[in-house]
Amino acid sequence: MQSEITREFIDQIEDAIERRDTEFILSNMEEMYAVDITTVLYELNTEQSKYVMDVLPSDVGAQILSDLDSDVRTNFLKNFTTEEIARYINEMDSDDAVDLLNEQPVQRKEEIIALLEDQEHVADIIDLLHYDEDCAGGLMAKELIKVNINWRVGQCIEEIRRQAEDVEKVYAIYVVDDRDKLVGRLGMKTLILTNDNTPISEVYEPDVISIESYKDEQEVATVMQKYDLDAIPVVNIQGRLLGRITIDDVIDVIQEQAELSRQLMTGITENIEEDDSVFRLSRARLPWLMVGMVGGLLGARFIGLFEGDIAIIPALAMFTPLITATGGNVGIQSSSIIIQTLANKTIMFDNFTSRIIKVLLVAIINGLVMSGLVLGFNVLFGVELTLSIVVAVALFSVVLLSSFMGTVTPMILDKYGVNPAVAAGPFITTANDLLGLGVYFMVAHMLLTL
Amino acid sequence: MQSEITREFIDQIEDAIERRDTEFILSNMEEMYAVDITTVLYELNTEQSKYVMDVLPSDVGAQILSDLDSDVRTNFLKNFTTEEIARYINEMDSDDAVDLLNEQPVQRKEEIIALLEDQEHVADIIDLLHYDEDCAGGLMAKELIKVNINWRVGQCIEEIRRQAEDVEKVYAIYVVDDRDKLVGRLGMKTLILTNDNTPISEVYEPDVISIESYKDEQEVATVMQKYDLDAIPVVNIQGRLLGRITIDDVIDVIQEQAELSRQLMTGITENIEEDDSVFRLSRARLPWLMVGMVGGLLGARFIGLFEGDIAIIPALAMFTPLITATGGNVGIQSSSIIIQTLANKTIMFDNFTSRIIKVLLVAIINGLVMSGLVLGFNVLFGVELTLSIVVAVALFSVVLLSSFMGTVTPMILDKYGVNPAVAAGPFITTANDLLGLGVYFMVAHMLLTL
C-alpha cells in the first residue's frame, strides 16, 4: 500500500513506542512499503527507530537498512549487536550486504560474516568484497538466474523454481556454456511461449550486452542508458559470468553524478548534506571561499596599481561590480553549454576551430548589445562621455574574453581527465573576475592616457 | 553487436554513400544497434543520413528516429515524405509515435495519421495525442499486456502469445476486472512457475503501485525511483488501466531535470545545446546577462552615493570585488545545499528555525575565519587599520547575510512551486551582489563617520 505519511501518523507511532505497544506498530506498519517506513524512521530519534526495527520482521528491516544513506546507516548500526546485523544481512541481496559490511570497522565486519548462516550467501559476499566500490564489480549482485546452453526449456524452468527464492526479480535469464562463459540471454517472454522440450540453444538470444567487472560505474551507467537496459550481466576478462547490475542501482549513480557536478560548480569540496554537522559543513565550504578571498585580495592589490587613474576619474571605481559580474555570468554560461556537450558526447569528431568561432560570434553579438545598452544608459544619465566609452569598450572585451575562457577551460580539463564541471566552480570564476578587472583597468588606462 | 565507432568507419560509410553501394552499407550496419547507427548519422550530413535511412529496414529506421533529439528529428524529417514517415510510425511504439507526430505541423500530422495502416495503432496514437507532454499520460505507451482477473493462467499465456508481437518487452502483466479497472499485477516468475489451470485470482499480486494520467512527469519519476519500479501502470481517475510508463523514459526525465537545473543556475532561459544556431544561443543567454547588467548599473549608481566616502579613503573602492565575490560564493554554496535537500525530500517535517540556526552557525564560523584572515593580511601588507577593520566587519556581515538569503530564497521559491534552482541563477546572484555592496558601504560609512 502506498502511504501518505502525516504528522499525525508519526505522533501515533511515537506514542505507541512510548507505551511499548508492539501490536499497534506492527498492525500499522506491516502493510507499508519499506521505503515509506524509512521515511517514518527519519522523523524518529535513534532510540525510537531502533525500537521499531526490533518490532518489524527482519526481511523488512533488511530492506530499510538497504534504503538508508550510507552515513545515516553507519551511525544507526552502532546501536545494533553483530548478531542483529547478521540477521539482517541474511535477508539482503549480496550487493546491499557488501555495501553495508564495507561501512563497518574491519573487526566487526569479520565478526558479522562469521555469524552468517547460508554458506552460499557468505561465499557470494566474500567474493564481492574484493571489488572496488566504484566499478562494475562493486555495483553487481551475485543473485541471478543462469542456465546452461545444453539444457532444454523445461530444465530452465526447474532452475528458476530452484533459484526463485533468492532472486527477487528476474530481469532476464543468462545463458552460459560449460565453462560458465556468458553466451547469450533468454527473455521471459520466450520462456513462456516455448515448449518445455525445446533446446535452449534453439531459442536463446546470442546477442547480449555485458560489461567487464573492472569498468568504471560511470561507464556502466552510460552503456545501460544508451542501450536502454534494465539489467546488465557482469563478466570477467575471460567472459565468465560473475553477476548482474540492475537499473535501480545505476539511477543512483546517475543522480550522484548530477549532484557531484552541482557541488563542483558551487565549490563544495566534500559530499555533504544539509543534516551533516556544522563543523563538517564549514570545512567543506571554506577551501573554495578561500580561493575567492585570495582572488579578491589580489584584485584589491591590482586595483591599487591604478590608483592614479582612479584619482583622475574617481567614478571609474563605480563600474567594477558591473564588469566583474558580467564576466562571471558570461563565463559560467559558456562553461555550462560546453560541459553539457562534453557530458553527452553525441558529437565526437568535432572541429575545435569552428566551435571556437561560433562561441566568439555569440560573444560578439551579446557583447555589442550589452555595450551599446550600457553606453546609451550612461550617456543618458549624464555619465561623462570618456568614462562611458571606457566602460563600454571594457565590457565588450570582458564578454569576449570570458566566453573564450569559459569554453576553453572545460575542454582542457576534460582532455586531461578532470571533471569539466570544476571549470564552473569558484577557482575559474575567480580567475575570470581578475581577468575582467585587468581588462577594465587596462582599457581605461589606455583610453585615458591617449 | 556493441560497436566501437571509428573515424575510419565513418569514412568508409561516406565512400559507400558516394558510390551508392547499398550492399556495403547494409552488410556493415545491419548487425549494429540502432543507437550506434544514430551516432554514425550524427557524423554525416543530412543528405548522407537520409540515404542511409532509405537503405536500412524501416524498423531500424523507426528506432533511430525514436532515439534522435527532438530538434534534430524535426529538421531531419523535413527531408522525408509523409508516406515515408508513416512507414516508420507503423513500426514505433505509441509513445514514440506521438512524440514524433507532435513535432510536425498540424496539417502534416493529420496527413501522416491518415496514411497509417494498423487501425488499433491509430486508435492508440489518437488517444495519446490528447495528453500534455509533461504529464504521466504524455509519457505512457499503450502497448502492454493485460489479463482479466477471471481468467486462468493458461488463457493468460495465450494472451501474451497474441500480444507478443506488439509488446517489445514485458515488464509485468496487469490484471484488470470486467470494467477494465486495474486490480493487480502478475509477475513473469509467477506465470512461469504456475500450472495452466490455476485461476489468476489465486496467484495475482493485488498490491500494485499505479499513477494517474494527469500527474506531473516529475512525480512519475519520484514514485518510480522511490519504489524501484521498472514500469508503472497509468490509470484514469476511476482506476481504469490506460497505459504504462517504462523506466527508460523516466531516466530521460531525471536527466533533463538535472540539465534544466544547471541551466537555471547558469541563467540560460531556453533549453539550448551547443549545436544550436548562433542567434538562438545569443537570445537564450542575453536575458539573464541583462539582469546582471542592470544590477551592475544599479551598483554603480549605488557606489556613486558614497563618492564622499571614496573621496576620503580612495582605497575603499579596491575591496569591492572581494566583497561581491565572497557574497556570491557564499550565497551559491548555501543555495546549492538547500536545493539538494529540497530535491531529495527525505526530511519532511523539518524545523525551519533549527535549520536557519544551523545555517547561521556555519556562516559565523566561516565568516570569522575569513574576516580574521583578511584583517591579518591587510594589516600585514600595510593597509590602513581603519580600512582593514571596515573590510573585515563588512566581509563578516556579507557572509552572514548571503548565507541567510541563499538558504531562504530557494525555500520560498519551492513553497510557491518555482524550481528552487532559479535561486542559484543570475537574478538572485545579482541581488546578492547588490546587498553585499550595500552592506559594505553602509558599514564603511558608519565606521568612518564614528
Q: Which residues of A touch B315 (CB under 8 A)?
A: 304, 307
Local confidence pLDDT in tens for the 450 residues of chain B: 456 778 888 899 999 999 999 999 999 888 889 888 998 898 888 899 999 999 999 999 999 999 888 888 998 999 999 999 999 999 998 999 999 999 999 999 999 999 998 888 999 999 999 898 889 999 999 888 889 999 998 888 888 888 776 676 777 889 999 999 999 998 888 888 888 899 999 999 998 999 999 998 888 988 888 888 889 999 999 999 999 998 888 887 877 777 776 666 666 666 666 667 777 777 777 777 787 788 888 888 888 888 777 777 777 788 888 888 888 888 888 887 787 777 665 544 456 777 788 888 888 998 999 999 999 988 888 888 888 998 999 999 999 998 888 888 888 888 887 777 766 667 777 788 888 888 888 888 888 777
Residue B327 touches partner A, C-beta closer than 8 Å: no
- Residue A4 and residue A25: Cα distance in Å, rounded? 16
Q: For A430, which of B281, B325, B366 is closest by C-beta distance?
A: B325
Nearest residue to B176 (alpha-carbon basis) of B143, B134, B145: B145
- The answer to whether residue B277 neighbours chain A at the CB level (below 8 Å) is no
pLDDT at residue A1, rounded to an integer: 47
pLDDT tens for each residue of A349-395: 456 777 788 888 888 998 999 999 999 988 888 888 888 998 999 99
What span, in angstroms and rounded, lies between the C-alpha atoms of A370 and B282? 11
Asked if A341 and B344 count as a contact pair (C-beta separation under 8 A), the reply is no
Beta-carbon count within 10 A of B57 CB: 10
Cα(B323)–Cα(B307) distance, rounded to whole angstroms?
Answer: 18
DSSP run (H or E) holding A235: strand A231-235
Q: What's the complex ipTM?
A: 0.72
Question: Three-class SS string for chain B?
Answer: CCCCCCHHHHHHHHHHHHCCCHHHHHHHHCCCCHHHHHHHHHHCCHHHHHHHHHHCCHHHHHHHHHHCCHHHHHHHHCCCCHHHHHHHHHCCCHHHHHHHHHCCCHHHHHHHHHHCCCHHHHHHHHHHHCCCCCEHHHHCECCCEEEECCCEHHHHHHHHHHHCCCCCCCCCEEEECCCCEEEEEECHHHHHHCCCCCEHHHHCECCCCCEECCCEHHHHHHHHHHCCCCEEEEECCCCEEEEEEEHHHHHHHHHHHHHHHHHHHHCCCCCCCCCCCHHHHHHHHHHHHHHHHHHHHHHHHHHHHCHHHHHHCHHHHHHHHHHHHHHHHHHHHHHHHHHHHHHHCCCCCCCHHHHHHHHHHHHHHHHHHHHHHHHHHHHHCCCCHHHHHHHHHHHHHHHHHHHHHHHHHHHHHHHCCCCHHHHHCHHHHHHHHHHHHHHHHHHHHHHHCC
Domain A7-133 has CATH 1.10.10.10: no
CB-count burial class (<10 Å; 0-12, 13-18, 19+) for A399: buried
Return the CATH class of domain B278-448.
mainly alpha
CB distance A299–B289 less than 8 Å?
no
Cβ contact B321–A310 (<8 Å):
no
Options 3.10.580.10, 3.30.2350.10, 3.30.1370.10, 3.40.50.300; CATH for A145-255 is 3.10.580.10
Chain B residues 369-428 with CB within 8 Å of chain A:
369-370, 373-374, 377, 424, 426
pLDDT of A344 > 70? The answer is no
Q: Give tens-digit pLDDT for A46-99.
A: 899 999 999 999 999 999 999 888 888 998 999 999 999 999 999 998 999 999
Delimit the domains of chain A by residue range. Answer: 7-133, 145-255, 278-448
Determine the average pLDDT of the residues in A346-350. Answer: 49
Tens-place pLDDT, residues A127-175: 999 898 889 999 999 888 889 999 998 888 888 888 776 676 777 889 9
Contact with chain B for residue A79, Cβ under 8 A: no
